[in-house]
Structure 1
Amino acid sequence: MTGSFDAVIVGAGQAGPPLAGRLTAAGMTVALIERQRIGGTCVNFGCTPTKTLVASAHTAHVVRRGAEFGIDTAPPQIDMGRVRARMRSVVASSRDGLEAWLGGMESLTLLRGKARLTAPDTVEVDGETLTAPRIFLNVGARPAQPDMPGIKGMPYLTSTTILELDRVPKHLVIVGGSYIGLEFAQMYRRFGADVTVVERGPALIPREDPEVSQAIRGILQAEGIAVRLDADCIALAPSSEGVCVHVSCDEGVPEVHGTDVLLAVGRTPNTDDLGLDAAGLSADTRGFIPVNERLETAVPGIWALGDCNGRGAFTHTSWNDHEIVAANLLDGADRKVSDRVPGYALYIDPPLGRAGLTEAQARAAGHRVRTASRPMTRVGRAVEKGETQGLMKVVVDADTGTILGAAILGPGGDEAIHGVLDLMTAGVPAEGLAWAVPIHPTVSELLPTLIGDLI
Structure 2
Amino acid sequence: MSAPRRFDAIIIGAGQAGPSLAGRLTAAGQTVAMIERKDFGGTCVNTGCMPTKTLVASAYAAHLARRADDYGVVLDGPVGIDMKRVKARQQTVVKNARGGVEGWLRGMKGCTVFQGHARFESADTISVGDDLLTAPKIFLNVGGRANVPDMPGVNDIPYLTNVGMMQLDTLPEHLVIVGGSYIGLEFAQMFRRFGSRVTIVEMGPRLIGREDPEISDAIREILEAEGITVRLNAECIRFSPHEDGACVHVTCKAGEPQVTGSHVLLAVGRRPNTDDLNLEAAGVETDKRGYVVVDDQLRTNVPGIWAMGDCNGKGAFTHTAYNDFEIVAANLLDDDPRKVSDRISCYGLFVDPPLGRVGMTEAEARATGRPLLVGKRPMTRVGRAVEKGETAGFMTVVVDAKTKQILGAAILGLNGDEAIHGMIDLMYAKAPYTTIQRAVHIHPTVSELIPTMLGELKPV
Where on the TM-score scale, by shorter chain, does this alignment land: which range? over 0.9
When structure 1 is superposed on structure 2, of 275-284 and 184-193 the one drifting more is 275-284
1:170 aligns with 2:161: no
Q: 2:7 aligns with which of 2, 5, 19?
A: 5
The yes-or-no answer on 1:432 pairing with 2:401 is no
1:100 CA drift (Å): 2.0
Corresponding position of 2:51: 49
* Partner residue, 2:426: 423
1:17-36 deviations in Å (ceiling 9; x for gaps): 00000000011000010001
Q: Is the 8 A contact 2:156 2:241 kept in 1?
A: no
**Counterpart position of 1:17:** 19
CA–CA distance in 2 between the matches of 1:15 and 1:125? Answer: 20
Q: Deviations over 1:89-119 (max 9, x none)?
A: 1111111111222123111001100001111
Q: CA deviation at 1:342?
A: 1.3
Q: How does 1:314-333 map to 2 (within 5 A)?
A: 314-333=317-336
SS in 1 for 2:244: coil
Displacement, 1:76? 1.3
2:149 counterpart (126, 146, 149):
146
Q: Which amino acid aligns with 1:16?
A: G
CA distance in 2, matches of 1:26, 1:364: 46
TM-score, length of structure 2 as denominator length = 0.97
2:346 and 2:81 mapped to 1: Cα distance?
34
Shift of 1:365: 3.9
Check conservation: 1:63, 1:75, Cα contact below 8 A.
no
Q: Which residue of 1 aligns with 2:113?
A: 110
1:294 aligns to what? Answer: 297
Is 1:209 the counterpart of 2:212 in the alignment? yes
Q: How many Å separate the matches in 2 of 1:410 and 1:26?
A: 44
Structure 2 spans left out of the alignment, 5+ residues: none
Following superposition, the deviation at residue 374 of structure 1 comes to 0.8
One-letter amino acid of the structure 1 residue matched with residue 59 of structure 2: A
Q: Secondary structure at the match of 2:38?
A: coil
What's the CA shift string for 1:113-159, capped at 9, x where partnerless?
Answer: 00011111111111321111100000000011111001123100111
What is the CA-CA distance between 1:241 and the residue it aligns to? 2.0
Q: Is 1:269 paired with 2:286?
A: no
Distance 1:384 1:198 in 2: 35
Q: Which consecutive unaligned segments of at least 5 residues does structure 1 have?
A: none
Q: Give the count of matched residue pairs.
A: 455
TM-score by length of 1: 0.98
Q: Does 1:443 align with 2:415?
A: no
- Are residue 119 (structure 1) and residue 118 (structure 2) matched? no
Superposed counterparts of 1:126-145, under 5 Å: 126-145=129-148
From 347, 350, 354, the equivalent of 2:353 is 350
Query: C-alpha separation between the residues in 1 aligned to 2:158 and 2:363?
Result: 39
CA–CA distance in 2 between the matches of 1:444 and 1:300?
46
The residue number in structure 1 matching 2:195 is 192
What residue in structure 1 maps to residue 185 of structure 2?
Answer: 182
Aligned pair partner of 1:221 in 218, 221, 224: 224
Asked if the contact 2:156/2:239 (under 8 Å) is kept, the reply is no
**Whole-angstrom distance in 2 between the partners of 1:332 and 1:47:** 32
Shift of 1:362: 2.0
Identify if the C-alpha distance between structure 1 residues 367 and 25 changes in structure 2 by more than 3 Å, giving closer, same or farther: farther
Counterpart residue identity of residue 51, structure 2: P
- Give the RMSD, CA atoms, in angstroms: 1.1
